[in-house]
A and B are shown apart, each in its own frame.
Chain A
Amino acid sequence: MTNDVEERLRRIRGGGEGKRHNARTIAALTTNPGCSRRAVLDAAGVDKAKLARHIGFPSQFGQSQFALIRGNQFEAQVKADGCAELITLLRAHLNLTLPEVSYEDLNDVGGNADNRLRHLETRNKLGRRDDPGTLFDHPMLTLNVAGQDVFLEPDLIAFQVKGKFHIVEIKSFAVIDGQADGSKVAAAAIQSAVYVIALRNLLVEKGFSPDDVSHNVILVTPKDFSNQPMVTFVDVRKQLTVLRRQLSRLTRIEDLLKLVPERVSLSLDADPAEVAFDIGSIEPRYMPECLNTCELARFCRHEAQGSTYAMGRTVMEDLGGVDTVATVLDLARGTREPGPHQVEVAALLRLAWSMREESLGAAA
């Protein structure tokens, strides 16, 4: 990244250290790839939660304390006694042989939990060819996101001799009768895909082939209503493609910046109204899904009030070419002449309106 761009991003962020990405935020990039606002703010390392609070739209967002505790407890259970439960599962599903039980703890290096140190240790241990290990607990990987090295910490990496490296994610949401919450599985898949990319980069530098990292990640979750862990293989090839595209877009931040006015600065010391105005000059693409993944979503939703895309993708596609709710209503009531592209939509809307009138009559 050139100094010029860095300077602009610094100004957008309002000075100071940028907020670093993590696997969750990188994964969030893929839910709404078309949003320039998010792309610019993330590249600049803006703390979106603080920004949203500053302009009066605090996000009701973040991980619940209870979910965190439950997640940690389940992970500790699966990894207890030298990963005893996990070894049993991997022997059954990954065909680990009996001698493959080696366990390396990468949570700290001699009592020191410094990220850089742990990353170097991870590189040394994973890159060993003569005596490869089997289980690597909390390795520290890095990924370059928009010119910055981001530290990433998968739950576990499992390596099977003569086989492949596998990312193992331990999640505490239950899989009941073979079914899990789709959005949670999707989130876990995309997060794991981030790890797969990071691990591939590391191993390629160490002279391995990218194919040595499996695109099937191992998801360990509680089974039914018990605490008993079970294994699901998740194919993340699709997520890998999406992520790669998204990451390459981030590196082309120069192009996006051309669309942002020079003066824009989102300093938290500035007047909230001014900051809100500045945010408004960066092109958003609000979707209802944003509420789950972006701290700034409430602001964008407020801004998008009255427009058809605030109602979600389906509605927006049905109403192709009509941007505001007011126009939709005018077209339906017939108080406005449809433009050349709106004829078809207008006919549908008028039909819907007449059916509504008929069924509701005076009550409407």
Chain B
Amino acid sequence: MDLSIEELERHIDELRADMRRAALSGDRALVDELREELREAQANWEEALAQVTARLPRARGRSTTTPAANRPEPTSRGVRGSLLPLREQVHHALTLLTVPAAPRLIVAVHQAFFGAVIPNSRLTSLRRDEERSFRSAPFARPYYLCPALTADRLGPSRGLLSISTWPIAERVVGPLSPRVHFLTAAVKVAEAIERTPDPRPEALRLLARFAANIPGGTDGSGPETVAEAARAELAIHEEADRITREEAAKRAGRLTDVQRLFGVRFEAVSLVEEAG
């Protein structure tokens, strides 16, 4: 637990908003899960407040409290079937895929190979938590989960997660990258299935989903066919994609640490229309 009392308040607000959205979309299980998390956050807030009050007469120190070290992070709650914190589960899935991925795919991969269910919408707040944690204590963690960066502006890409320890060129997405990522992910999933002696049905279903959208992916059966087909199409796009990404990675050298990890936010309305 390394959230300050102010951060906890923001976290509580976000949880409430998430709950409202979950209720609107009719996801009762998620509402219950979030309620549990909210209860915990509120308890933490009470505790933090108590500590601040307790300290008042002695010294007006920082409000950042570090209570019981064995307390798990709030994000680790609400994950059924796994005792690992949510961020580690996401790290596992991304390491398997080796490319930036959308929450939807991360959830599917994790379920297919590690068996645990990650609630999709928790990943949104995970990204916010990671950035907040980095800003308050840079590089305190061995890795951060951060957005992939768009090749043109090095801004945060919408919905794609990556790992901060990857080389920057691997974290950049150009126009061809979504397809390259898809095909690479197909290869990696196929390889992982080949390594597994008794793959789960979820894993085979995931592979079938990849196969259906790759030319030649359904010509034979088994992971080898899918991997072959994916590699064949990958050969078409790989080179052009790599050039775009490496060029963007060079520009990223000028960025600050926060910008390199979480993307350049485009604030000023200074975009100029190019000549037609």
CB atoms of B271 and A117 under 8 A apart: yes
Q: Is A222 interfacial (CB-CB < 8 Å)?
A: no
Please, which residues of chain B bring their CB within 8 A of the CB of A120? 271-273
Contact across chains for A98 and B267 when beta carbons are under 8 A apart: no
- Give per-residue flags for A78-110: 1 if the beta carbon is below 8 A from chain B beta carbons, else 0: 001111110110010000001101111101111
Binds A, one of B42-50, B86-94, B173-181: B173-181
Chain B residues with CB under 8 A of A88: 212-213
B102 within 8 A of A: yes
| Pair A133/B102 contact, Cβ less than 8 Å | no
Interface assignment of B132: CB less than 8 Å from any CB of chain A: no
Cβ A116 vs Cβ B269 within 8 A:
yes
Interface status of A112 (Cβ within 8 A of chain B): yes
Most B CB contacts (10 A, CB to CB) among A80, A85, A116 go to A80
Given A69-B25, A82-B181, A98-B233, also A124-B213 (CB < 8 A): no
B271 contacts A111, CB within 8 Å?
Answer: no
Q: In the complex the two chains form, is A205's CB within 8 Å of B102's CB?
A: no
User: Which B residues lie within 8 Å of A14 (CB)?
Assistant: none
A58 interface contact, C-beta 8 A: no
- Report if A123 contacts B (CB, 8 A): yes
Report yes or no: B213 in contact with A108, Cβ–Cβ below 8 A: no
**B237 in contact (CB, < 8 A):** yes
Interfacial residues of chain B within 150-181, with CB under 8 A of chain A in the complex = 150, 153-158, 175-179, 181
CB-CB under 8 A for A101 and B263, given A76-B104, A80-B105: no
Residues of B within 8 A of A87 (CB): 179, 213
The reply to whether A127 and B178 contact each other, CB–CB distance below 8 Å, is no
A86–B184 alpha-carbon span in the complex (Å): 18
Q: Does B57 lie at the interface of the complex (its beta carbon under 8 Å from any beta carbon of A)?
A: no
> Quick one: which of B210-227 are within 8 Å of A by CB?
210, 212-213, 215
Q: Is the CB of A98 within 8 A of B274?
A: no
A76 — which chain B residues lie within 8 A by C-beta?
A: 104
Cα–Cα distance between A105 and B181 once the two chains are bound (Å): 15
Q: Determine whether B185 belongs to the interface, using a CB cutoff of 8 Å to chain A.
A: yes
Residues from chain B with a CB closer than 8 A to the CB of A128 are 274
CB distance from B132 to the nearest CB of A (A): 16
Nearest residue in B to A116 (C-beta to C-beta)? B269
- Asked if A261 CB lies within 8 Å of chain B CBs, one says no
> Is B263 a contact partner of A111 (Cβ separation < 8 A)?
yes
B201 within 8 A of A: no
Interchain nearest-CB distance for A82 vs B (Å): 3
A68 to chain B, nearest CB (A): 10
Residues from chain B with a CB closer than 8 A to the CB of A4 are none
Most buried by A among B158, B181, B236, B237: B158
- B83, chain A: closest CB distance, angstroms: 29
Q: Does B264 contact A (CB under 8 A)?
A: yes
The answer to whether B276 and A111 have CB atoms under 8 Å apart is: no
Contacts of A111 in B (CB 8 A): 155-156, 263, 265-266
Q: A110-B153, A112-B266, A123-B273 are in contact. Are A84 and B213 (CB under 8 A)?
A: yes
B228-250 at interface with A (beta carbon < 8 Å): 233, 236-237
- Min CB distance B254 to A, Å, is 15
B215 proximity list for chain A (CB < 8 A): 91, 98
From known contacts A99-B236, A109-B266, A124-B274, infer whether A81 and B24 are also in contact, taking CB-CB under 8 Å.
Answer: no
A residues near B154, Cβ cutoff 8 Å: 110
Which 5 residue pairs are nearest across A and B when measured between Cβ atoms? A82-B178, A110-B266, A110-B155, A101-B179, A102-B175
Interface residues, chain A, with chain B CB atoms under 8 Å away: 65-66, 69, 76, 80-85, 87-88, 91, 98-99, 101-105, 107-112, 114, 116-117, 120-121, 123-124, 127-128, 133, 205-207
Chain B interface (Cβ within 8 Å of chain A)?
Answer: 24-26, 102, 104-105, 150, 153-158, 175-179, 181-182, 185, 210, 212-213, 215, 233, 236-237, 263-267, 269, 271-274, 276
